Amino acid sequence: MTGGWERSAFPNPLRAPKSGRVAIGGDLSSALLLDAYDHGIFPWYSKGEPVQWWSPDPRAVVTLESLHVSKSLAALMRKAEFSVTWNRDFRAVMAACGENRDDGTWILPEMIDAYVRLHELRTAHSIEVWRGEELVGGLYGVARGAAFMAESMFHRATNASKVALAAAVRGLWAAGVRLIDVQFQTPHLQSMGVFEIPRSEYVRRVAALRILEIDLWSKLSSCS
Give residue 181's Cα distance to chain centre.
Answer: 6
- How far is the C-alpha of 53 from the C-alpha of 22, rounded, in Å? 6
> So what's the pLDDT on residue 79?
87
What SS3 class is residue 21?
A: strand
Same domain, 136 and 42: no
Same domain, 156 and 182: yes
Give residue 223's Cα distance to chain centre.
Answer: 18
CATH code for the domain of 193 = 3.40.630.70
Q: Which of 151, 127, 114, 125 is nearest to 215 (CA)?
A: 125
> So what's the pLDDT on residue 222?
76
Amino acid at 196: E
DSSP category for residue 51: P
> So what's the pLDDT on residue 101?
58
> So what's the pLDDT on residue 6?
60
Where among 41, 56, 71 does a domain terminate?
Answer: 56
Q: Low-confidence residues of the chain, pLDDT below 50?
A: 1-4
Pairing of strands 179-183, 147-155: parallel
CA distance readout (Å), 189 to 52, 161, 186, 215: 24, 10, 5, 28
Amino acid at 51: V
What SS3 class is residue 7?
A: helix
Q: How many domains does the chain have?
A: 2
The residue range of the domain holding 44 is 5-56
Same domain, 35 and 66: no
Pairing of strands 21-24, 52-54: antiparallel
